[in-house]
């Protein structure tokens, strides 16, 4: 379904500022639908033979919202419906006269009589659309206090819409967080005193320990923080703030109502977010605990690495020193993963953040005054879970060390710079990692599957057994050297 902006741009002559005004209205009109217990339709005149300002010709429904406080009138969305003057005469009259028009019509879509209140939507002194409140006629039923109060609130906002004061130029509402009318509503007068409190609002106040009669009292006199109310009255714009009292947390949203004399009162919506905030705090606490665990694991691995290095210094055997050095490198590769996880939220990590320091670590280990290898990382493998990132880090450390040891012998061609490039990519099957060098290549008949060295044995075990991936070995197409290609299926990444 096309958005409001797309429909309006295609069907009308409204300016960008006028379209933005309609978008702000639609973004905040759930509250209006709940207050009036009705469906709300937004009609925009279709550009054609007649001028938009005349309010004649066809109209297009560009917005439709249903109330959450009562049953909807329409079973299907009316957005995109085109109507003529004869079908919606009250919309045409409201547009032409720039007045609020009330009456009843028969809607062909539902074949019923509908009570309609048409409100001209003004922006910068010009009527640009019509908002229609539509409900079934009430026959033989007297509305209760809550319904009368809510409808009166809607009528006050309707007058603000007709005068161009609503929606507000700046609105701090958040569709995911903002309280709804059903959560609890309090009506304030010009003096910021309570005129009416809905049952749900009273319940919210009771949970905060406020049991006094609220009528005629200010929220501050009830023991609540009334700073958002004072701010809303001062700036004549909505203000949203969390109010915490004891173990209860209430999201309070104060929406001022305006008339010709300024702020005539306000609606304060309450939403109890105690459970949500407690869950958020618990998640933050757990996340901090997990990161602290990763930090401690990293420290422990570094301690083990230091102890092994001390042992290597006391060992006279060159083979033993070499084996210990390889073990230290593998431990440091794993420590890099935990170090990155200790800084990030969650158990997923950007693999590039691990790979770059890993490459740097190998480069420093194999470099010497007589030997220099250029390492490069290209591409991005995205975010990987820790159970994939850890074995991948060990595998790449082994491959890079193996490449440095065997691809560039000291008696090689020194006129050509020694280069190793690590390429990362993601496709529909999973992630692809290539380690490409311009060295001497592999001996004839060499196969990773049959290699007996410890490093390549570790690579085989981690890639093929732990990750369910594959290893390929071939020559690059553009010159000498070797390409080692690793493919890890998406199932391993998602598991």
The reply to whether the predicted model has a pTM over 0.85 is no
- Domain check: are 8 and 150 in the same one? yes
What confidence tens digit (pLDDT) does each residue in 182-201 have? Answer: 889 999 999 999 999 999 99
Mean pLDDT computed over every residue of the chain:
85
171 inside domain: no
Asked whether residue 193 falls in the same domain as residue 126, the answer is no
CATH of the domain at 449: 3.30.565.10
Is residue 169 domain-resident?
Answer: no
Q: In what helix (H) or strand (E) does residue 279 lie, and over which residues does it extend?
A: helix 274-313
Q: Which of 230, 248, 272 is the last residue of a domain?
A: 272
CB 104 within 8 A of CB 116: yes
Residues 238 and 372 in one domain: no
Gap between the Cα atoms of 10 and 3, Å rounded: 11
DSSP 208: T
- Is residue 57 within 8 Å of 49, Cβ to Cβ? yes
Q: In this structure, what DSSP letter does residue 136 have?
A: P
Asked if 257 and 358 sit in the same domain, the reply is no
Residues 224 and 311 in one domain: no
Mean pLDDT for 246-255 is 86
Cα–Cα distance, 242 to 258 (Å, whole number): 24
Residue 157 lies in a domain: yes
Lowest mean pLDDT among 2-6, 192-196, 396-400, 465-469: 2-6
CATH number where 202 lies: 3.30.450.20
Average pLDDT for residues 127-137, to the nearest whole number? Answer: 93
Q: Strand, helix or coil at 396? A: helix
Could you give the angle at the alpha carbon of 401 between the alpha carbons of 396 and 405, nearest 5°?
Answer: 150
The Cα–Cα gap between 258 and 236 comes to 8
pLDDT tens, position by position, 109-130: 777 889 999 999 999 999 999 9
Q: State how far the Cα of 440 lies from the Cα of 416, in Å rounded to an integer.
A: 11
At CB < 8 A and 24+ separation, what contacts does 146-150 make? 146/198, 146/199, 147/37, 149/187, 149/196, 149/198, 150/34, 150/35, 150/36, 150/37, 150/69, 150/181, 150/185
pLDDT of residue 49: 34
On the question of pLDDT at 289 being above 80, the answer is no
- What pLDDT does residue 233 have? 94
Q: Which residues constitute the domain of residue 332?
A: 275-345
pLDDT band at 414 (very low <50, low <70, confident <90, very high): low
| pLDDT reported for residue 373 | 85
Same domain, 25 and 141: yes
Last residue of a domain, one of 272, 302, 335: 272
The domain that holds 137 is classified in CATH as 3.30.450.280
Specify the higher pLDDT residue, 52 or 142.
142
* Model pLDDT for residues 443-484, shown as the tens digit of each residue: 777 877 777 777 788 888 888 888 888 998 888 877 788 999
Choose one of 345, 376, 407: the last residue of a domain. Answer: 345
**Which residues, 6+ apart, have CB-to-CB distance to 384 below 8 Å?**
348, 349, 350, 351, 392, 431, 493
Give yes or no for a contact between 46 and 130, defined as CB atoms under 8 angstroms apart.
Answer: no
Structural contact between residues 52 and 77, judged by C-beta atoms closer than 8 angstroms:
no
Shared-domain flag, residues 187 and 153: no
- Structure-block tokens of residue 12: 């009308």
């Amino acid at each position: 379904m096309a958005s409001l902006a797309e429909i309006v741009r295609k069907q009308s002559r409204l300016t960008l500022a006028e379209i933005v005004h309609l978008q702000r209205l639609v973004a905040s009109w759930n509250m209006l639908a709940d207050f009036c217990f009705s469906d709300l339709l937004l009609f925009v005149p279709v550009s054609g033979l007649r001028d938009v300002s005349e309010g004649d010709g066809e109209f297009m429904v560009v917005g439709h919202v249903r109330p959450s406080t009562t049953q909807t009138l329409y079973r299907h969305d009316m957005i995109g419906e085109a109507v003529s003057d004869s079908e919606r005469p009250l919309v045409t009259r409201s547009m032409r006269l720039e007045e609020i028009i009330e009456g009843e019509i028969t809607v062909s879509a539902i074949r019923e009589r509908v009570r309609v209140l048409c409100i001209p939507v003004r922006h910068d002194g010009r009527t640009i659309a019509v908002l229609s409140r539509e409900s079934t006629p009430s026959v033989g039923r007297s509305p209760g206090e809550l319904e009368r109060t809510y409808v009166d609130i809607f009528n006050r906002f309707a007058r603000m819409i007709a005068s161009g004061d609503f929606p507000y130029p700046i609105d701090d509402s958040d569709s995911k967080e903002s309280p709804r009318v059903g959560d609890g509503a309090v009506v304030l007068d010009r003096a910021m005193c309570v005129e009416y409190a809905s049952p749900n609002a009273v319940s919210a106040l009771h949970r905060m320990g406020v049991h006094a009669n609220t009528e005629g009292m200010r929220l501050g006199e009830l023991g609540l923080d009334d700073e958002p109310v004072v701010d809303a009255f001062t700036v004549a714009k909505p203000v949203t703030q969390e109010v915490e009292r004891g173990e209860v947390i209430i999201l309070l949203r104060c929406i001022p109502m305006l008339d010709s004399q300024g702020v005539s009162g306000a609606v304060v919506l309450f939403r109890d977010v105690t459970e949500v905030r407690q869950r958020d705090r618990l998640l933050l606490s757990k996340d901090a605990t997990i990161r602290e665990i990763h930090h401690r694991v990293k420290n422990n691995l570094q301690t083990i690495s230091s102890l092994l290095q001390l042992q290597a210094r006391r060992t006279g055997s060159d083979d033993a020193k070499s084996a210990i050095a390889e073990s230290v490198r593998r431990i440091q590769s794993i420590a890099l993963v935990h170090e990155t996880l200790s800084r990030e939220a969650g158990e997923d990590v950007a693999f590039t953040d691990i790979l770059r320091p890993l490459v740097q670590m190998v480069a420093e280990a194999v470099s010497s005054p007589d030997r220099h290898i250029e390492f490069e990382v290209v591409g991005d493998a995205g975010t990987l879970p820790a159970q994939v990132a850890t074995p991948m880090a060990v595998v790449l450390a082994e491959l890079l060390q193996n490449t440095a040891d065997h691809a560039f012998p000291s008696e090689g061609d020194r006129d050509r710079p020694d280069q190793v490039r690590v390429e990362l990519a993601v496709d529909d099957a999973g992630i692809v990692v290539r380690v490409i060098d311009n060295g001497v290549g592999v001996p004839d008949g060499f196969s990773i599957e049959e290699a007996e060295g410890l490093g390549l044995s570790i690579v085989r075990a981690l890639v093929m057994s732990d990750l369910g991936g594959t290893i390929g070995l071939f020559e690059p197409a553009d010159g000498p050297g070797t390409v080692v290609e690793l493919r890890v299926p998406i199932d391993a990444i998602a598991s």
